């Protein structure tokens, strides 16, 4: 009951902060990107808050217990992605003035068709990412309160969609910043207390690197004992590092900062915040191995550990805190994802208005809830890993080549997106359906990024014929890299209420429609 | 949604002119920098992976649990500083 109460407390405070943040969410730019008036510090907190999902709060420790300490390579990849975000994407994307990845694709390639394709890819990535979040909400609620899984999932869907539909991203920013702090406090605090309460004997046991299973203790990732742990680790690192670059909801966040410089700096701050957080899942994983060595559901290990280490009131209080932290992870990530999904559904696919965007949030939630009901048995990190692999095989090459190489054409991008999306989702599906014996092939299907990313890059480059490069492509690329402090055109300054940031706005048909809809 | 710019296939760009030559120089420098950072990241991750695989016992764990984050932060911070220098040079010399 304590667990449920603490979850309710997180929920109520989120709604209060959300409502407080609603004040100005009246137009679509407001709703989607808070009219770019969000302070960098809040933004870094919000990005980290949105990014530290159930995969990090619950999945990492569970995977560590199940597969070995190498599970922490996921955390390394999740963080390393932001080095590339800072170096390759943040600044130029911000200068493009596009709201979403599809917006950017249209700005850079001048083709409305590619915008719709990108909208579809956004849907796939966001859904793959949303499912495990709802699963997490369901299993945690079930564990702390006994509510059946499906009721928990539906309830979580109602809560999230209603907070977003009312507030949009402005409210999401403050809520997500708050959630980062909740997650850090409610995961780090109990972790430190648990280290103390565990006592020296259990601490020693948790840190024992020798044991019956030497593979478990080896700091490399292996999939079901395939014997190719270096290959598996490299493939997971590829997916997570490059995938972070192409996650639509992360990219979208950078439009809420003041300018290109601020966008880069925000990416660096995010690395600091992530590094701080990722020190703690290890504690739950290592203590979990000795305290709950054989859990029925590995994804709830962090919630089980407190009671196993400190039975009684202290354990109950710590459990409640961790459960609340896990629920905060669900709330913040799923609201960020839903916003991007709704953007994909309405804005990119149907050129929508604010009311369509709100409908998009509801439709996206319904879809995610329905799909996550049968996903109860899939590991959180497996699904999240696939979302990253798809992002790495589609938007990572699109953004990298689009920003840095003027030779990319709409045809090349389309071909690359198709091949990347088909190969990465196809491999993931095949790994489920074929159920190959552990070995090289099973890794290359279950963690396909290692070959699908180079393939997508190669197809994009090869299918971009030099003769098909339009004469404006050079300028479109150059504008992404010109500091251009003095180059805000008068019109955009008026439209956006005097943004002085040096943004070079893109004006796709949908964003033109958006501005009208916003009035 | 008919719009003039799309009749010519050109994506919408602001009407203000930019100095294409100065921009070209800035792009080249930024691109070199980006490639350098990406390669450094690759080398750093490869080194960390090798260290974790080779070093036995708790030290190997520590390499995985703690060592990557300061390295990643340093790479990103260094990149941002250099990228801002390129922009400052651009602002000073031209447009």
DSSP string, A403-417: HH-TT--HHHHHHHH
- Does A343 or A132 have the greater pLDDT score? A132
Q: What is the predicted pLDDT for the residue at A489?
A: 34
CB contact under 8 A, B14 and A505: yes
User: Which structure tokens are listed for B53?
Assistant: 């695989």
Chain centroid to Cα A44, Å, comes to 14
Q: Which CATH class is domain A2-377?
A: mainly alpha
The pLDDT value recorded for residue B15 is 54
Number of neighbours of residue A375 by Cβ within 10 angstroms? 18
Report yes or no: A53 and A218 within 8 Å, Cβ to Cβ: no
Q: pTM here?
A: 0.88
pLDDT of residue A85: 96
Two tokens at A40? 């960098």
User: Which position has the higher pLDDT, A296 or A149?
Assistant: A149
Of residues A370 and A19, more confidence is placed in A370
Lowest model confidence (mean pLDDT) among A174-183, A273-282, A410-419, A492-501: A492-501
Tokens of A164: 């977003």
Whether A80 and chain B come into contact, CB under 8 Å, resolves to: yes
User: Does residue A428 register a pLDDT over 80?
Assistant: yes
Residues of B in contact with A72 (CB under 8 A): 64-65
Q: Which residues in chain A have Cβ-Cβ distances shorter than 8 Å to B12? A: 107, 506-508
**CB–CB of B79 and A219 under 8 A?**
no
Q: How many helices (H) and strands (E) does chain A have?
A: 25, 0
A355 or A312, greater pLDDT: A312
Instruction: Return the pLDDT at A513.
Output: 31
Q: Is A482 at the interface with chain B, CB within 8 A?
A: yes
Q: Is the pLDDT of residue A503 over 50?
A: no
Tens of pLDDT along chain B (95 residues) come to 333 344 345 555 665 667 888 889 989 999 999 999 999 999 999 999 999 999 988 999 999 999 999 999 999 999 999 999 999 888 887 65
* DSSP states along chain B: ---HHHHTTPPP--SS---HHHHHHHHHHHHHHHHHHHHHHHHHHHHHHHHHHHS-HHHHHHHHHTTHHHHHHHHHHHHHHHHHHHHHHHHHH--
Mean pLDDT over each residue of chain A, to the nearest integer:
84
- The answer to whether the CB atoms of A476 and B23 lie below 8 A apart is no
Q: Residue B61 and residue A219: Cβ atoms within 8 Å?
A: yes
pLDDT of B54: 92
| Chain A residues whose beta carbon lies within 8 Å of the beta carbon of residue B68 | 76, 79-80
Name A483's Cβ contacts closer than 8 Å, sequence gap at least 6: A260, A502, B26, B87, B90, B91
Q: Spell out a b/e string for B12-38, using b for 16 or more CB atoms within 10 Å of the CB, else e.
A: bbbeeebeeebbebbbebbbebbeebb
Cβ(A315)–Cβ(A47) below 8 Å:
no
Q: What are phi and psi of A371, to 5 degrees?
A: -70, -25
- CB contact under 8 Å between A482 and B72, yes or no, is no
Look at residue A237 and give its three-state secondary structure. helix
The more confident residue out of A327 and A227 is A327
| Minimal C-alpha gap between B17 and chain A (Å) | 8
Q: CA nearest A254: which of A46, A457, A429? A: A46
List the single residue in A80, A272, A477 with the smallest CB-CB distance to B45: A80
What is the SS3 string spanning A189-218? Answer: HHHHHHHHHHHHHHHHHHCCCCCCCHHHHC
Give CA torsion, residues B57, B62, B64, B66, to 10 deg: 180
Asked casually if ipTM beats, i.e. exceeds, 0.85, the reply is: yes
Q: Which of A18-27, A123-132, A506-515, B34-43 has the lowest mean pLDDT?
A: A506-515
How distant is the Cα of B14 from the closest Cα of chain A, in angstroms? Answer: 6
| Per-domain residue ranges of chain A | 2-377
């Amino acid at each position: 009951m304590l667990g449920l109460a603490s979850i309710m407390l997180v929920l109520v405070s989120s709604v209060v902060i959300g409502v407080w943040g609603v004040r100005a969410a009246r137009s679509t730019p407001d709703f989607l990107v808070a009219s770019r008036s969000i302070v960098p510090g809040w933004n870094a907190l919000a990005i980290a808050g949105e990014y530290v999902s159930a995969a990090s709060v619950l999945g990492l420790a569970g995977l560590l217990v199940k597969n070995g300490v190498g599970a922490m390579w996921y955390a390394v990849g999740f963080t390393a992605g932001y080095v590339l975000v800072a170096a390759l994407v943040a600044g130029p994307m911000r200068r493009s003035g596009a709201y979403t990845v599809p917006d950017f694709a249209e700005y850079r390639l001048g083709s409305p068709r590619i915008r719709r394709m990108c909208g579809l890819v956004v849907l796939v990535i966001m859904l793959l990412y949303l499912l495990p979040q709802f699963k997490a909400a369901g299993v945690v609620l079930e564990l702390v309160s006994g509510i059946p899984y499906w009721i928990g999932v539906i309830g979580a869907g109602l809560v999230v969609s209603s907070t977003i539909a009312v507030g949009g991203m402005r409210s999401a920013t403050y809520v997500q910043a708050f959630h980062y702090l909740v997650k850090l406090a409610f995961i780090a605090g109990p972790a430190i207390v648990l280290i103390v309460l565990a006592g020296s004997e259990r601490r020693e046991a948790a840190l024992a690197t020798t044991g019956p299973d030497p593979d478990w203790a080896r700091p490399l990732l292996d999939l079901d004992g395939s014997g190719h742990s270096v290959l598996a680790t490299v493939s997971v690192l590829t997916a997570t590092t490059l995938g972070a670059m192409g996650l639509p909801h992360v990219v979208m966040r950078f439009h809420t900062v003041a300018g290109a410089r601020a966008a880069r700096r925000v990416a660096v701050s995010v690395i600091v915040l992530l590094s701080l957080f990722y020190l703690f899942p290890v504690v739950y994983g290592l203590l979990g191995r000795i305290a709950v060595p054989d859990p029925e559901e590995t994804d709830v290990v962090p919630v089980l550990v407190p009671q196993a280490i400190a039975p009684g009131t202290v354990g109950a209080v710590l459990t409640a805190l961790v459960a609340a932290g896990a629920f905060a992870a669900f709330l913040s990530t799923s609201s960020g994802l839903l916003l991007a999904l709704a953007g994909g559904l309405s804005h990119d696919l149907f050129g929508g208005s604010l009311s369509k965007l709100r409908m998009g949030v509801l439709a996206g939630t319904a879809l995610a809830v329905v799909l996550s009901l049968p996903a109860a048995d899939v590991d959180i990190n497996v699904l999240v890993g696939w979302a990253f692999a798809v992002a790495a095989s589609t938007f990572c090459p699109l953004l990298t080549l689009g920003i840095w190489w003027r030779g990319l054409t709409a045809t090349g991008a389309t071909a690359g997106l198709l091949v990347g999306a088909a190969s990465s989702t196809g491999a993931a599906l095949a790994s489920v359906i074929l159920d190959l014996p552990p070995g090289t092939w099973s890794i290359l299907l279950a963690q396909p990024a290692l070959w699908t990313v180079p393939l997508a890059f190669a197809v994009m480059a090869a299918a971009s014929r030099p003769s098909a490069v339009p004469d404006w492509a050079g300028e479109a690329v150059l504008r992404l890299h010109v500091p251009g402090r003095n180059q805000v055109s008068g019109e955009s300054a008026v439209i956006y209420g005097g943004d002085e940031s040096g943004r070079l706005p893109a004006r796709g048909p949908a964003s033109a429609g958006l501005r009208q809809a916003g009035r | 949604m008919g719009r003039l710019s799309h009749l010519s296939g050109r994506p919408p760009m602001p009407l203000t002119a930019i100095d294409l030559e100065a921009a070209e120089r800035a792009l080249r420098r930024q691109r070199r920098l980006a490639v350098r950072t990406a390669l450094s990241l690759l080398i750093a991750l490869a080194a960390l992976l090798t260290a974790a695989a080779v070093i036995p016992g708790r030290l190997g764990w520590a390499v995985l649990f703690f060592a990557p984050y300061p390295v990643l932060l340093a790479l990103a911070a260094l990149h941002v500083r250099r990228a801002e220098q390129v922009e400052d040079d651009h602002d000073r010399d031209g447009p």
